[in-house]
Amino acid sequence: MRCFWVEKSESGEVTSSLTDKPVSILDSSDTSEPRIRIQVQYSSLNYKDAMAATGHPGIVRHFPHIPGIDAVGRVIQSQDAAFPVGAEVIVTGNQLGVTHFGAWAEQIDVPVSWAVPLPESLTPLQSMALGTAGFTAAQCVAALIDHGVTPESGSVVVTGATGGVASLAISLLVKLGYSVVAVTGKQSEHEALKQRGVDHVLSRSEFIDDSRRPLLSAAYAGAVDTVGGTMLETLLRSTQYRGCVAACGLTGGAELNTTVYPFLLRGVTLCGIDSAMCPMPIRKKIWQRLSSDWKLDDLDSLTEIVPMDELSSMVSKILAGGMVGRAVIQI
C-alpha cells in the first residue's frame, strides 16, 4: 500500500517519505462498531494535513502516522449493509488523519459512522475539491445565515482569502448574492479575487488594526475568518450591530485578545466552527446543500490535482501561506 509515512526518531526528529507498507497495518482490533475498508481515489490538502505531515504535537499524538483528513473512494470490505462493497463514500474529519491512519494512502479502514454516501450529483473529484475546506466554508456560511446575516444586511469579510476554506467561502457567498470583501496577504491575487466576484479586496496589512481601540467603524455585517489572532480581533471590532463572525482558522495565530464591547454594545456573535466532530445529521445536511442548491460552478478553476510524489513540496507551500485555492491529491 503506497502511503505518505511520517515517523519520529528517538532523538525527536520528524521525517516523512512516500513508501509502501503492508495493508495489514490498517487492521483494527476495535470491535465496538462495524467498519469499512475504502480504496481511496482522491484525498486533499488542508492546513491541518500539513501540520500532521510535520508531526505537529497538537495533531499527531502517535508515530508512525499517515496524514489525510479527507477521502473519497469505493468500499472494498464492509461490515455494514448500508455501505456495501462497491459503494462510493466520502470520509472527512472525525479522527481520520489525526489519531487514525489517514487518506494519503491507497486504503483506509474506518468506523462506518464516519462515512457519508457520495452525493449523486458530485463526482469524486468535486467532492475532494470541496473536502473539509468546502464543508467548513459551508458551515461558516450557514452560521451567518442562522444568525440573520442576509445579503441585504451588508458586506461579509472573508480573511485568508486565497486559501482553501476562504476560496470556497467566497464562491458560496457570491453565489448566494452577498457582497464580499476579501482580505489577503497576496498582492498578486487582488485582480483574480475581483474576477471571482469579490467587491473589494484589502491587503492584510491595511485591514489589521493593532490599536487598542475597543470598537472600530461598524463596517461589516458578517465575516468568515480563517486566520485568527489580530485578524479576528480586528473583525470583532469592525462588525456592525447584531452581526456575526464565523471563526474557523488560526493561520495567523491562536491567541485572541479582545474586550467584551463588541458583544455588549453591538450584540456581535462570535460563532465557533468545527468540522472534525460535526454531528452526522448536520454533516449530511451540509453535503446535501453542497451537492444541490449550494453546488459551486467554479470548483474546477479553484482546484489543482496533485500526484502523491509532490506531497512534500505542497506541505511546505501551504505551511508558508502560499496556497491559492484547493489541491486534490490523486492517490
Q: Does 160 bind ligand NDP (CB under 6 A)?
A: yes
Q: Which is nearer to ligand NDP, 36 or 164 (CB)?
A: 164
CA distance 180 to 198: 5
User: Which of residues 164, 222, 243, 262 is near ligand NDP by CB under 6 A?
Assistant: 164
Q: Which is nearer to ligand NDP, 48 or 100 (CB)?
A: 48
- Residue 164 burial by CB count (10 A; 0-12/13-18/19+): exposed, middle or buried? buried
| Residue pair 234/209 in contact by the 8 Å Cβ criterion | yes
Shortest separation between residue 66's beta carbon and ligand NDP, angstroms: 18
The interface region with ligand NDP, picked from 28-36, 111-119, 180-188, 285-293 by CB under 6 A, is: 180-188
CA distance 103 to 124: 14
Q: Does 36 bind ligand NDP (CB under 6 A)?
A: no
Q: Does 323 bind ligand NDP (CB under 6 A)?
A: yes
How many amino acids of this chain bind ligand NDP (CB under 6 A)?
A: 30
Q: Which is nearer to ligand NDP, 124 or 164 (CB)?
A: 164
Shortest separation between residue 250's beta carbon and ligand NDP, angstroms: 4
Q: Does 96 bind ligand NDP (CB under 6 A)?
A: no
CA 307 remoteness from chain centre: 20
Handedness of CA 56, 62, 67, 73 (dihedral sign): negative
Q: Does 178 bind ligand NDP (CB under 6 A)?
A: no
The interface region with ligand NDP, picked from 26-34, 98-106, 170-178, 272-280 by CB under 6 A, is: 272-280
CA 141 remoteness from chain centre: 13
User: Which of residues 52, 98, 273, 329 is near ligand NDP by CB under 6 A?
Assistant: 273
Q: Does 275 bind ligand NDP (CB under 6 A)?
A: yes
Listed residue (27, 120, 116, 26) closest to 71, CA to CA: 116
The interface region with ligand NDP, picked from 19-27, 115-123, 148-156, 316-324 by CB under 6 A, is: 316-324
| Residue pair 286/126 in contact by the 8 Å Cβ criterion | no
**What residues are paired with 269 via a beta bridge?**
244
Q: Which is nearer to ligand NDP, 149 or 198 (CB)?
A: 198
Q: Does 67 bind ligand NDP (CB under 6 A)?
A: no
Q: What stretch of H or E contains 200?
A: strand 200-203
What separation, in Å, do the N-terminal and C-terminal C-alpha atoms of the chain show? 11
Q: Does 171 bind ligand NDP (CB under 6 A)?
A: no
User: How far lies 227's CA from each of 38, 275, 280, in Å?
Assistant: 33, 16, 26
Q: Does 266 bind ligand NDP (CB under 6 A)?
A: no
Q: Give the chain's length.
A: 331
User: Which of residues 73, 243, 252, 262 is near ligand NDP by CB under 6 A?
Assistant: 252
| Residue pair 200/174 in contact by the 8 Å Cβ criterion | no
Interior CA angle at 140 toward 316 and 251, to 5°?
Answer: 25
Can you give the binding site for ligand NDP, defined by CB under 6 A? 46-48, 132-133, 136, 160-165, 184-186, 204, 226-227, 248-252, 273-276, 318, 321, 323
